[in-house]
Each structure stands twice: as structure tokens, then as C-alpha cells.
Amino acid sequence: MGVKKDIIDTPLKITEIFRVGPRVKAPRDKRDWDFLIYELKKLKVTPGEAYRIIAEKKDKTSSVRYDWKMLRLTMYVWERLHESEKLFNRPKIDTIREVVGHRKFRQFFYGFFPDLELDHEKEVKLLYKLITEKPNYPYLKEGYYFYPGTKKVIPQKVLDKILFDTPKK
């Protein structure tokens, strides 16, 4: 009779394993923080990198990618605004090089990605791509950007002038 009961229970056990996973108890030392730290060190994961990965996966209220994109766009818009005050807009690529070269850009970069090394040319290419590609145009609209140090929104007319008017060569 014991064999017949095992045959009946086996499909139930298999479906439960598929539903919740196997109930394998880990040794006590593998369930504490010391073991986690040991494994992260073994994988050569820095605390900043571990925090960034966990925050990206667990925090649903904000997105690091979105925040970093909007911050780079804001720095670009402010630099173009500063250039337009001088009555001369340089080519976009020159403005982008200027933005990426700023100390503030480096500080924000290391704030968002403490475990990565800043590659100037790579960041110039990424920012240029961000600004010139059509899918990002909805983020270049009125309401996303304020004048530096104020709560006054930059009007769409000004944004169009500083972002889409290019100097003649």
C-alpha cells in the first residue's frame, strides 16, 4: 500500500516544486549577511555596484536610466541656453564636448555610477546620440526644463531656438 500512495503523491509534489521551487534548506552560514558579503567579494563586486544593481531591480518609484537621461539633457539645455545669451550657438558636438568636460558632469556620473570609469569620448557619443535621435524628442518639450536656479519653465519657443537652430557653416 505504501507504493500506491507514493505514486499518487508524486505528481502533487512535482507540481508544488514547479510552483514554489524546491525546499532545500541551506546551511545556516549561507543564510546570513557574512556569507553574502563573502560571495560578493569573491565575485569582485564593489559595494557601490551591489547597491546600484539592487536599487535598479527593487526600486520601482524611479529609474536610474531615466534620471540620468534627464540630467544629461538638462545640462545640455542649460549649456545651450548659456551660449544663446552670448548670441552665438556653436555646433551641437562642441556643446556636448563642453558639457561632458564639466566638473559637474563628472560628479553626477560618479554619483550615478560609482563603480564605472568615465570615458570622455564614449559619453560624448552617447549624449550626442541622446540629443539627435527622434525617440528622445518628446523629452525636449516645455515643462521638463527650468531656468538655472529658478522655478520658471523654459518656454517651447526658446527650446526650439536653442536646440534645433544650427549655425550655418
The dihedral built from the CA positions of residue 33, 34, 39 and 43, taken in this order, carries a sign that is positive
Contacts of 153 (CB under 8 A, 6+ apart): 142, 143, 145, 146
**Does the pLDDT at position 166 exceed 90?**
no
**Structural contact between residues 52 and 113, judged by C-beta atoms closer than 8 angstroms:** yes
Average pLDDT, integer, range 23-36? 63
Report the C-alpha gap between 155 and 142 in whole angstroms: 6
**Does the pLDDT at position 25 exceed 60?**
no
Could you tell me how many residues make up the chain?
Answer: 169
For residue 169, what pLDDT is reported?
46
**Structural contact between residues 72 and 139, judged by C-beta atoms closer than 8 angstroms:** no
Q: In this structure, which amino acid lies at residue 122?
A: K
Indicate yes or no: pTM above 0.75. Answer: no
**Structural contact between residues 167 and 90, judged by C-beta atoms closer than 8 angstroms:** yes
Percent of the chain past pLDDT 90, that is, above it, reads: 26
Q: Looking at 33-47, 67-81, 85-99, 139-153, which range is the least confident one?
A: 33-47
For residue 168, what pLDDT is reported?
45
Condensed to tens digits (0 to 9), the pLDDT of residues 37-60 reads 888 888 888 888 888 778 777 766
Average pLDDT, integer, range 19-42? 67
For residue 29, what pLDDT is reported?
55
**Does the pLDDT at position 27 exceed 60?**
no
For residue 97, what pLDDT is reported?
94
Distances (CA, A) of 113 to 124, 138, 169: 16, 26, 37
**Does the pLDDT at position 131 exceed 60?**
yes
Condensed to tens digits (0 to 9), the pLDDT of residues 79-115 reads 999 988 887 778 889 999 999 999 999 999 988 888 7
More confident residue, 116 or 146: 146
Which range, 23-27, 36-40, 125-129, 133-137, is most confident? Answer: 125-129
Residue matched to cell numbers 564636448: 97
